[in-house]
Amino acid sequence: MSVNVQGLRKSYGALDVLKDINLDVREGEFTVLLGPSGCGKSTLLSAIAGLDPINAGRIDIAGIDVTDRDPAARGIAMVFQSYALYPTMTVRGNMTFGLRVKRLPKPEIEKRLTWAADMLQITDLLDRKPGQLSGGQRQRVAIGRALVQQARVFLFDEPLSNLDAKLRAEMRVEIKRLHRELAPTVVYVTHDQIEAMTLASRIAVMRGGRIEQYATPDELYERPATLFVAGFVGAPAMNFLPVILRGGVAELGALRIPLDAYRFTSPPADGTPAVLGVRPEHVTIGGPGVAVATETLFMEPMGADTLGWFQLGAQRLSARLAPQLARGIDGAQTVALDIANASIFDQATELRL
Amino acid sequence: MSVGRIGLYIFLAGAALFFAIPLLIVVMTSLKPMDEIRAGSIFAWPMAPGFAAWVKAWSSACTGLACNGIQVGFWNSFQILIPSVVLSVSAGAINGYALAQWKPPGANMLLTALMLGAFIPYQVILYPMVKIMSNVGLYNSLPGIVAIHIIFGLPVMTLIFRNFYAGLPDELLKAARVDGAGFWRIFWEIMLPISVNILVVAVILQVTGIWNDYLLGLIFAGREYAPMTVQLNLIVNSQMGEQEHNVNMAATLLTALPPLLVYVASGRYFVRGITAGAVKG
Ligand SMILES: Nc1ncnc2c1ncn2[C@@H]1O[C@H](COP(=O)(O)OP(=O)(O)O)[C@@H](O)[C@H]1O
Ligand SMILES: [Mg+2]
């Protein structure tokens, strides 16, 4: 079932938290809302769930206008950051509460409980209270409580942020597996870009109550639409060089970087102040692109590769290098900037050029 | 042991004696016959301890003209206590839950009003309350005094529960709403079961407050439903004949007994409830 948000606005008093949000999530799609803390992700998810009244706009689920419907009448299930398990009920009680509220017949409730518990491997835990579970187990129960609803739309609000790194990776795979097997429509909130990149079929990057870009992980990474998206997505972060664009050349101080390889979406006027963004893997030694003279600063080994830092005029450049190659590098060094894979943003509008 | 420690223990022992000695005198006196009281010192140990004074205090001491003992007051207090406690605590819990969890528009204004209500000395509004109660025909009646206890108890009860429910994570209510549960179902099945400790605190506060109340009972209950405290005062202050100290003491102890029992029975919960900041999931 699709989820469609149009012209959504939401404010708390004078604070505009969501400003004209448009988002369309296709049936079976895994959409991730990604953005820094406080940008309105949870508020948007709450609005889709119908938990908070909105100021303007419209929300359709499966093509039906649900803007004025109660959360339970929207055909959604939700998993919360704090798990929000009912403390005095057993796991069984927690998972079946919603079904009992909806007065489903007992055998049906039992069937769904068994199915979901089996799916999540929590059958042994059914008679325990939430207080007797570990963080990872609580998370499974919270997902189980959503699964038994057999909803076609799942909403997740930072479900893994309270888990340690190892467990998080494990649950990420679990969620991916569930999505593959059940193919529900998912809207998933996170501030963790790894989670977003690994899970999403499309990512909506949010900033200050707006969606900056809504695209596939590849598109987002390779062709970020705004300076903010370029900086937020990708670790280690993209290199930003302040340049002036003039006649197909980027001027960086005295340095002239020809931009022939770059495909402009909208050709800029001469003299436009801009930001040239190059990802660390597109700064190479002996690779394709424009060669520039730099001074080696230091090396940061990261295991699979080493992050090399170079001084280019007044700017610092980071390059993702193979460890063997990085070991021999020192002093003056010529590096190549792969302009074909770079991004250029207008400094004033912060939009991609 | 440091000097400070020793000083502390001496102070604590002194404080304990300060409260224990009068209590001991009351208990000893209530167990003595009048002859012994007349003859001896109040600090003397009873020579032939007996419960005669207790029996008289309970069943035949004179409260004004009637001589049916303090038992009349006991049953009156009981009849006042049960509905007053049940209704004021329930109303406080529901109010607190509604204000903290559902955050209706104007909740903060209502809260400020409640704070004011909780801290206004109630003597100030006694007279208007008397007028209102007699206008609605509840003055000097059981429903009247019960209503008064509920009204006077509500601000504090609401605040206690509101603070407790405000400390719960918002997501609990959200999860229950997504599950399709409504206002009452969430209250009964999710909120109340987490609130046991705080409920015990509220009940203790109300039981002791209402049982020990004298002024409101004197003014609003009328002669027929005068609570135990008012009857006790009548026994102790009756001017007819010789003062029967042993009966007075026994009546006092009988009056003080119920709140005492409540403390003993629930002290554990009381401490737990007062320290219950957060509910761990
Ligand atoms: N109930 C509320 N009252 C007032 N402000 C709120 C409320 N909920 C959220 N906000 C504000 O709205 C903004 C967005 O919050 P939220 O959607 O929770 O951000 P995110 O989930 O992206 O971290 C924040 O600035 C937050 O302080
Ligand atoms: Mg959030």
Q: How many contacts does A have with B, using Cβ atoms within 8 A?
A: 70
Strands laid side by side in the A153-157 sheet: A76-79, A153-157, A185-190, A30-34, A202-207, A210-215
Q: How far apart are CA A145 and CA A107, in angstroms?
A: 17
Coil/strand/helix, residue B1: coil
Report if residue A75 sits inside a domain: yes
- The answer to whether residue B276 scores a pLDDT higher than 70 is no
Report if residue B9 sits inside a domain: yes
- What CATH number did the domain enclosing A44 receive? 3.40.50.300
Per-residue pLDDT at B273:
60
Per-residue pLDDT at B38:
86
Report if residue B57 sits inside a domain: no
Q: Residue A351 pairs with which residues in a beta bridge?
A: A226
Report if residue B187 sits inside a domain: yes
- The answer to whether residue B239 scores a pLDDT higher than 70 is no
Distance (Å) from CA A51 to ligand 1 centroid: 13
Q: Which atom of ligand 1 is nearest to the CA of A43?
A: 17
Report if residue A213 sits inside a domain: yes
Task: Tell me: do A58 and A23 sit in the same domain.
Answer: yes
What mean pLDDT do residues A7-11 have?
A: 95
For residue A168, the enclosing domain spans 3-231
What mean pLDDT do residues A96-123 have?
A: 95
- The answer to whether residue B36 scores a pLDDT higher than 70 is yes
Cis peptide before A107 (omega within 30 of 0): no
Task: Tell me: do A278 and A310 sit in the same domain.
Answer: yes
Report if residue B63 sits inside a domain: no
Task: Tell me: do B118 and B200 sit in the same domain.
Answer: yes
Task: Tell me: do B111 and B195 sit in the same domain.
Answer: yes
- Strands A249-252 and A239-246 come out as antiparallel
A139 touches ligand 1 (CB under 6 Å): no
What mean pLDDT do residues A8-21 have?
A: 94
Q: A49 and B174: CB-CB below 8 Å? A: yes
What mean pLDDT do residues A131-150 have?
A: 93
Per-residue pLDDT at B46:
87
Query: How far from the centroid of its chain's Cα atoms is residue B70's Cα?
Result: 18
Considering CB atoms only, which of A81, A87, A101 is closest to B171?
A: A81
Task: Tell me: do A138 and A185 sit in the same domain.
Answer: yes
Task: Tell me: do B163 and B97 sit in the same domain.
Answer: yes
B278 touching chain A per CB within 8 A: no
B contacts of A109 (beta carbons < 8 Å): none
Task: Tell me: do A177 and A282 sit in the same domain.
Answer: no
- The answer to whether residue A61 scores a pLDDT higher than 50 is yes
Q: Residue A39 pairs with which residues in a beta bridge?
A: none
B189 touching chain A per CB within 8 A: yes
A136 touches ligand 1 (CB under 6 Å): no
* pLDDT band at residue B280 under the 50/70/90 scheme: very low
A contacts of B183 (beta carbons < 8 Å): none
- The answer to whether residue B277 scores a pLDDT higher than 50 is no
What mean pLDDT do residues B88-107 have?
A: 94
Task: Tell me: do B19 and B106 sit in the same domain.
Answer: no
Task: Tell me: do B32 and B149 sit in the same domain.
Answer: no
Task: Tell me: do A215 and A249 sit in the same domain.
Answer: no
Look-up of token digits 């009860």: B157
Report if residue A351 sits inside a domain: no
Across A161-170, A281-290, B175-184, the highest mean pLDDT is recorded for: B175-184
Closest CA in chain B for residue A130: B281
- The answer to whether residue A250 scores a pLDDT higher than 80 is yes
Task: Tell me: do B42 and B76 sit in the same domain.
Answer: no
Report if residue B61 sits inside a domain: no
Report if residue A91 sits inside a domain: yes
Chain A contacts in chain B segment 34-63 (CB below 8 A): none
Task: Tell me: do B39 and B133 sit in the same domain.
Answer: no
Q: B179 and A84: CB-CB below 8 Å? A: no
Token pair of B29 as six digits: 């006196």
Task: Tell me: do A255 and A200 sit in the same domain.
Answer: no
What mean pLDDT do residues B115-139 have?
A: 88
Task: Tell me: do A201 and A240 sit in the same domain.
Answer: no
**Which of the pair, A33 or A313, is modelled with greater confidence?**
A33
**Residue A71 exposed, middle or buried by CB count within 10 Å (0-12, 13-18, 19+):** buried
A318 touches ligand 1 (CB under 6 Å): no
Task: Tell me: do B77 and B40 sit in the same domain.
Answer: no
What mean pLDDT do residues A92-108 have?
A: 96
Report if residue A249 sits inside a domain: yes
Question: Among the three residues A182, A215, A231, which one is the final residue of a domain in this structure?
Answer: A231
Q: Which atom of ligand 1 is nearest to the CA of A45?
A: 17
DSSP state, B189?
I
Task: Tell me: do A108 and A169 sit in the same domain.
Answer: yes
Per-residue pLDDT at B263:
84
The CA-atom distances, in angstroms, between B152 and each of A10, A116, B163 are 40, 50, 19
What mean pLDDT do residues A322-330 have?
A: 87
Average pLDDT, chain B: 89
For the CA of A17, the nearest ligand: 1
What mean pLDDT do residues B65-82 have?
A: 92
Task: Tell me: do B79 and B44 sit in the same domain.
Answer: no
Token pair of B70 as six digits: 């303090």
Number of domains into which chain A is organized = 2
Q: How far apart are CA B34 and CA B37, in angstroms?
A: 5
Over residues B42-69, the pLDDT tens digits come to 888 888 888 999 999 999 888 877 888 8
A contacts of B193 (beta carbons < 8 Å): 88
Per-residue pLDDT at A118:
93
Q: Which atom of ligand 1 is nearest to the CA of A189?
A: 21
Task: Tell me: do A75 and A173 sit in the same domain.
Answer: yes
B214 within 8 A of B230, measured Cβ to Cβ = yes
Task: Tell me: do B211 and B180 sit in the same domain.
Answer: yes
A contacts of B180 (beta carbons < 8 Å): 70-72, 98, 101-102
For the CA of A206, the nearest ligand: 1
Q: B194 and A87: CB-CB below 8 Å? A: yes
Report if residue B66 sits inside a domain: no
Q: How far apart are CA B266 and CA B2, in angstroms?
A: 35
Per-residue pLDDT at B271:
67
Report if residue A353 sits inside a domain: no
Look-up of token digits 């039992």: A110
What residues does the ion ligand 2 have nearby, CB within 5 Å?
A 42
**Which of the pair, A13 or B86, is modelled with greater confidence?**
B86
Q: A87 and B279: CB-CB below 8 Å? A: yes
A30 within 8 A of A200, measured Cβ to Cβ = yes
**Which of the pair, A266 or A91, is modelled with greater confidence?**
A91
Distance (Å) from CA A38 to ligand 1 centroid: 6
Report if residue B163 sits inside a domain: yes
Report if residue A47 sits inside a domain: yes
Q: How far apart are CA A310 and CA A342, in angstroms?
A: 18
Token pair of B106 as six digits: 């104007």
Q: How far apart are CA A152 and CA A145, in angstroms?
A: 14
Report if residue A136 sits inside a domain: yes
Q: What is the ipTM of this complex?
A: 0.88
- What CATH number did the domain enclosing A315 receive? 2.40.50.140
Q: A72 and B176: CB-CB below 8 Å? A: no
Over residues B241-253, the pLDDT tens digits come to 778 889 999 999 9
Average pLDDT, chain A: 93
For residue B209, the enclosing domain spans 71-280
Over residues A294-303, the pLDDT tens digits come to 999 999 999 8
What mean pLDDT do residues A201-219 have?
A: 96
- The answer to whether residue A59 scores a pLDDT higher than 70 is yes
Task: Tell me: do A119 and A208 sit in the same domain.
Answer: yes
Rg (CA), chain B: 23
- The answer to whether residue A336 scores a pLDDT higher than 70 is yes
Task: Tell me: do B38 and B113 sit in the same domain.
Answer: no
B153 within 8 A of B212, measured Cβ to Cβ = no
Number of domains into which chain B is organized = 2
Q: What is the residue type of B59?
A: S
Per-residue pLDDT at B241:
72
Rg (CA), chain A: 24
SS3 labels along A236-299:
CCCEEEEEEEECCEEEECCEEEECCCCCCCCCCCCCEEEEEEECHHHEECCCCCEEEEEEEEEE
For the CA of A33, the nearest ligand: 1
Task: Tell me: do B260 and B156 sit in the same domain.
Answer: yes
Task: Tell me: do A131 and A196 sit in the same domain.
Answer: yes
Distance (Å) from CA A176 to ligand 2 centroid: 21
A41 within 8 A of A35, measured Cβ to Cβ = yes
The pTM of this model reads: 0.86
Task: Tell me: do A252 and A323 sit in the same domain.
Answer: yes
Q: Which sign, positive or negative, has the C-alpha torsion A80, A86, A91, A95?
A: negative
Report if residue B197 sits inside a domain: yes
What mean pLDDT do residues B208-213 have?
A: 95
Site to substitute for ligand 1 among A9, A12, A41, A205, most atoms within 8 A of C-beta: A12
In chain A, what is the straight-line distance between the N-terminal and C-terminal CA atoms, in Å?
Answer: 35
Q: How far apart are CA B276 and CA B269, in angstroms?
A: 10
What mean pLDDT do residues A147-162 have?
A: 93
Question: Among the three residues A212, A231, A250, which one is the final residue of a domain in this structure?
Answer: A231
In chain A, the percentage of residues whose pLDDT exceeds 70 is: 100
Q: Residue A345 pairs with which residues in a beta bridge?
A: A275, A352
Distance (Å) from CA A193 to ligand 2 centroid: 15
- The answer to whether residue B275 scores a pLDDT higher than 70 is no
Considering CB atoms only, which of A51, A88, A138 is closest to B193?
A: A88
Per-residue pLDDT at A320:
94
Question: Among the three residues A231, A258, A292, which one is the final residue of a domain in this structure?
Answer: A231
